[in-house]
Amino acid sequence: MFAPDVHFDFAAALLLAAVVTGVGWLIDAKLFAPRRTAQAEPGKWAEFCRSFFPVILIVLLLRSFLVEPFRIPSGSMIPTLEVGDFILVNKFAYGLRMPVFHNLLVPLGEPERGDVMVFRYPRDPSKDFIKRVIGLPGDSVTYRDKTLYINGEKMSREVSGYYSADAAGRKVIAEEMIEQLGDVEHRILVSPHRPNDDAEFTVPEGHYFMMGDNRDGSEDSRAWGFVPERNLVGKAFFIWMSWDGRKNRPALDRIGNTIR
């Protein structure tokens, strides 16, 4: 029986495959290999375990502790990330975690305001979400008249133009702005004709407040609350591939871009 936030996903399948092939290889090496003559060939199962265990283990370690690929399915992070972007996520930026069970093994760092972060959705930890870190533990976050205030300080922003595109079959038309979150300067979208979604929050200890850069097209902490530290997955840092679904071809101008 899995714990509430442990699910049989690709990571669990990799871990199971590593355990099964590793045990199979170990049993053959310790029990059967010493009894075989020099001319005898190992059985098919032993050969399979011996061949695939190192490969599976390397993939598991790389994916769990170094870098993991993700695909952007929605327009909540436009214009920073677009539908069809394939990104890489730094898995050790916020500490090394046990695969599948998510326990923190080695604390290496903590999220900073402005990070683009992948996390497990608090209402359904089997799903991975990506948003921007807005509020850190203890922060007061206010969103009023489509303007962000953190601990009473207004985050500066200025209009840089207009944005128009199709995102997951929906037309997005909005003002594009440059927002400053401490040292992080990034682009956001604001729709002047959409109703204001004013709210004020205080971030609990051990939690984070997340928002999408497409401010009027994102369901985020304003709707479903805070992200607990246990749900952190990693920091998005690179677009390695992007597919333009409308033109049915790679979006070459996005490939190789860093994420900030």
Which tens digits make up the pLDDT trace of 216-251?
A: 999 999 999 999 999 999 999 999 999 998 889 999
pLDDT of residue 182: 87
The secondary element (H helix, E strand) that includes residue 140 is: strand 140-144
DSSP class of residue 40? P
> Catalytic pick from 64, 74, 91, 131?
131
Annotated domain spans of the chain: 10-65, 68-250
In the chain, how many H helices and how many E strands? 3, 17
Residue 14 near residue 63 (C-beta atoms within 8 A):
yes
What's the mean per-residue pLDDT of the chain? 92
Sign of the CA dihedral 130, 134, 135, 141? negative
Is the model's pLDDT at 1 over the cut of 50?
A: no
Structure tokens at 145: 């008249």
Cα–Cα nearest to 80, from 245, 239, 241? 239
Longest dimension (CA), the chain: 80
pLDDT of residue 76: 95
Q: What angle do CA 204, 145, 175 make, to 5 degrees?
A: 110
Asked about 64 being catalytic, the answer comes back as no
By three-state DSSP, how is residue 72 classified?
A: coil
Phi, psi for residue 214 in degrees, rounded to 5: -85, 80
Among 2.10.109.10, 1.20.210.10, 3.40.50.1260, 1.10.1130.10, what is the CATH number of 68-250? 2.10.109.10
Residue 231 near residue 210 (C-beta atoms within 8 A):
no
Which tens digits make up the pLDDT trace of 10-38?
A: 999 999 999 999 999 999 999 888 887 66
The secondary element (H helix, E strand) that includes residue 51 is: helix 44-65
> Catalytic pick from 76, 218, 221, 242?
76
Asked about 247 being catalytic, the answer comes back as no
Please provide the distance, in angstroms rounded to a whole number, between the alpha carbons at the two ends of the chain.
Answer: 39
Measure the CA–CA gap between 40 and 48, rounded to whole angstroms: 16
DSSP class of residue 102? -
Structure tokens at 186: 């990034």
What are the start-end ranges of the H helices in 35-125? 44-65
Which tens digits make up the pLDDT trace of 122-157?
A: 999 999 999 999 999 999 999 999 999 999 999 999
Instruction: Report, in angstroms and rounded to the nearest whole number, the Rg of the chain calculated over CA atoms.
Output: 23
How does residue 195 score in pLDDT terms, banded at 50, 70 and 90?
confident
Measure the CA–CA gap between 128 and 121, rounded to whole angstroms: 6
Q: What is the pTM of this model?
A: 0.90
Measure the CA–CA gap between 189 and 191, rounded to whole angstroms: 7
Measure the CA–CA gap between 124 and 224, rounded to whole angstroms: 11
